[in-house]
Structure 1
């Protein structure tokens, strides 16, 4: 940590890059009588269906919040947990999903727009970053996606390098982000990388949710100092939520909002807060203490003058005191401000409706980033060992079987069907639940189209998803002694890979719709087991009322195509003593499935290949949708 602080000090002494000295468009943020409520008392969709008569009630989260933040000012939102700080921040940043929001929120006296979205940075409390990318790669990829197409790739890279220098990240620029059990950069460096991602667009308005959470006091001081420089020297409007800042941090904020249970207790200069509560209201700290701690005590209804006083009464008195002493002044300040409309008057609205980069540029960047990030997971030593061990075991169990052991060969083909139905299914199920936070963050910032992300992920996973089943098939096919003709080998490989892609699509669809790994895993297991049971290997005489399942089963069509890759109608095999021969198509495990309908099976799998991915895409459209 000592080395990090020395490096940070050295970097902050440097002159910031010229492109980040000033905000592009100064923004005055005003919010008047902001009220937000949500409905509670209902469960999920299934529970709603079962409990149609269950009454719901609304809960007020924000209760008429008013304030103003000008360019060059940094506003801190204080309050205990559950006071509404993060909700208010999300509302001001245009990222509040669901619920009912009323009141007026304006940016240079105009509502939230594409213009504002392009000039707003939002740093969430959790640092949502790709763990296997380095600091430089993270910021360069973000620059390539968020900076306008008018800049070249080299210029965008220079912007990323400038941000790295400005935030003091040069020492760790080639170290991976890390996370979980993967060792990477420190917590303070991760937070600065998150801030750096938003600084790349040189935002006029910057929102940060708990930027000092989990950091030591020195690192927190460095981060807030950087934010103060961005506001004071760069003309940016900065709004942060902060739980319990130190005294040094508290006096760096130009303005402070104190919230308690959604009510506004104070809005004004941070340096005047103590004087207001002590001189005007008579709530003075009995001992020298951190002003932020004193304010949080009051927000919790704890008075240092009389610890036995009713906490609810104290909160109520503070709410009434704000309405009597400060409310009118704040409303007059908000109403009298007529900041310039530079942001909206200097930008062509038609231009703002377009994305920063073309669809192909977004796709190519996301494709490269996806390959670099997911290759570590797809080709982990554990997964490679798992596939190789199972492949060798299968090869030994089915060692050099021939058509005279037809049941054994059919069993191997069905094992192909089962193993490579479940394996890609579960690999794909986890994809979107794991990337949900990242997708929501990046889509909320208008970084890319959902279609470019989806296509990049789908095509980027192809080489990684198809290598292991190919290796598995080659090993088992040669060891088991299946049909050695090139046509049978390559058609069998094609069918296996085809079914892998279909199973992967089913997994993507389940994961995208459910978005919960436990529930998605359970649902996926039930669906795939149903497909396997109905495909004709286990049960040859399926009752008519449930026979329809096989027509929607991936396993049914892939199993049929695997059989067709090895056997042809009219082919004979030794079926008993005295070298008696029988038709392969009459073998019980084959007869239930049949050796016909090859074209129908290929078309059915093609429909599933596309259909499942379409379902996944439609399900993803609800993620990252924010107020526009």
Structure 2
């Protein structure tokens, strides 16, 4: 599948969430208030709330922002087929999640294999989603460049399994300066944060010349954060119970999957039909191979050389049946290879609740069994009567 088809499939599987209900409620309130919506914004919201379409503006927007528009019509590729690069594959995986209606995203090391510019563009787009759509995104990055670091609103600094700091980005340097450590002007803040809790690198950031340096452990930083004004404010917020009157039924989803079972089945079936169409050469080759082997088998087990009437004559017929069974069996190994190659993708999509697992199995049965029946019918029609088996219709 191409990059565009992959993102379209993930968007259809994940659904639109509460976008349709939100659009309906918004339209009612606009009519009541006499507000005329902006035509472009109205068209965009309606396009994003439509479910089940094969292509959608959400896919085009995701491709553009993630920098995948240049390879949108290229296949993903694998070990045998040349496709997109490793960094682009990472962005495709990120894009699969961004096309859905999720309001909370947790991303781990999304910058692996990407250059600084691509990482900056992805994080910038995610930041726009957070501010415009009021979403929550947590991203773990290892030594991000300064321009990417400055895009974050809040920072969570982890060290040795403890949360050293959790709060606004603008206050993190103030916290460490209060502890006696200052980030040099030409030092990236992300690099400073990674090294300041390390026993080996901590001393170089000590700026209180009038005081003797003493190693500050991670546990001491944790205790200092509790007395820091950001930490105290966080503790106060945690002590206030959640006001359930401010919530909304649409805030939490009640459905496990983004589509109904029937819609999920149709979505997975459409993907399977697309893959079978792309691999049509394999099916044509298999049928052609059966035709050639069938003609050869007809000459080997020709009915004039197949005596019958004695028990000892049954050996040749058993041999013909065994050979036919082996041919049909080995002819289906290509399907087994396709299924095994699909398993890693299936496991990922199953874990992310793209569709119920039974739809994948049922689609494979519905789509592959007719192909196997056609292949078996071609073999039997060619060889049955020529081999000298019982000509009665019931026996056939």
Same fold (TM over 0.5): yes
Deviations 1:449-470 (A, max 9, x none): 3333332222122234445555
State the distance in 1 between where 2:289 and 2:143 align: 50
Q: Secondary structure of 1:180's match? A: coil
1:483 aligns to 2:388 (yes or no) = yes
Quick one: which of 280, 287, 297 aligns to 2:178?
Answer: 280
Match of 2:138 in 1: 239
C-alpha distance 288-337 of structure 1, shift in aligned 2 (>3 A) = farther
Deviation at 1:428, TM superposition (A): 3.8
Deviations 1:62-102 (A, max 9, x none): xxxxxxxxxxxxxxxxxxxxxxxxxxxxxxxxxxxxxxxxx
Which sections of structure 1, spanning at least 5 residues, go unmatched? 1-132, 308-312, 492-563, 566-628
Match of 1:147 in 2: 15
Task: Please give the residue correspondences for 1:111-260 in structure 2 after superposition, counting only pairs within 5 Å.
Answer: 133-147=1-15, 151=50, 153-154=52-53, 157-165=56-64, 167=66, 169-260=68-159
C-alpha distance 345-285 of structure 1, shift in aligned 2 (>3 A) = closer
The count of residues paired between Structure 1 and Structure 2 equals 348
Match of 1:325 in 2: 225
Quick one: which of 195, 202, 221 aligns to 1:297?
Answer: 195
Q: Secondary structure of 2:133's match? A: coil
C-alpha distance 285-165 of structure 1, shift in aligned 2 (>3 A) = closer
Q: Secondary structure of 1:347's match? A: helix
Task: Please give the residue correspondences for 1:553-568 in structure 2 after superposition, counting only pairs within 5 Å.
Answer: none
Match of 1:263 in 2: 162
Query: Is this contact kept in 2: 1:231–1:238, CA < 8 A?
Result: yes
Quick one: which of 385, 391, 394 aligns to 2:293?
Answer: 391
Match of 1:42 in 2: none
Query: Is this contact kept in 1: 2:165–2:225, CA < 8 A?
Result: no
Deviations 1:512-538 (A, max 9, x none): xxxxxxxxxxxxxxxxxxxxxxxxxxx
State the distance in 1 between where 2:268 and 2:193 align: 45
State the distance in 1 between where 2:144 and 2:83 align: 26
State the distance in 1 between where 2:343 and 2:247 align: 32
Q: Secondary structure of 2:263's match? A: helix
State the distance in 1 between where 2:112 and 2:190 align: 15
Quick one: which of 417, 428, 433 aligns to 2:325?
Answer: 417
Quick one: which of 258, 262, 283 aligns to 1:360?
Answer: 262
Deviation at 1:367, TM superposition (A): 0.9
Match of 1:407 in 2: 315
Which sections of structure 2, spanning at least 5 residues, go unmatched? 21-49, 206-213, 308-312
C-alpha distance 272-464 of structure 1, shift in aligned 2 (>3 A) = farther
Match of 1:370 in 2: 272
Greater percentage in strand: 1
C-alpha distance 237-390 of structure 1, shift in aligned 2 (>3 A) = same
C-alpha distance 338-187 of structure 1, shift in aligned 2 (>3 A) = farther
State the distance in 2 between where 1:289 and 1:393 align: 77
Scaled by the length of structure 2, what TM-score is found? 0.69
Quick one: which of 370, 384, 392 aligns to 1:463?
Answer: 370
Query: Is this contact kept in 2: 1:355–1:448, CA < 8 A?
Result: yes
Query: Is this contact kept in 2: 1:387–1:472, CA < 8 A?
Result: no
Query: Is this contact kept in 2: 1:143–1:156, CA < 8 A?
Result: no
Match of 1:449 in 2: 356
Greater percentage in helix: 2
Deviation at 1:234, TM superposition (A): 3.2
Deviation at 1:152, TM superposition (A): 5.3
Scaled by the length of structure 1, what TM-score is found? 0.46
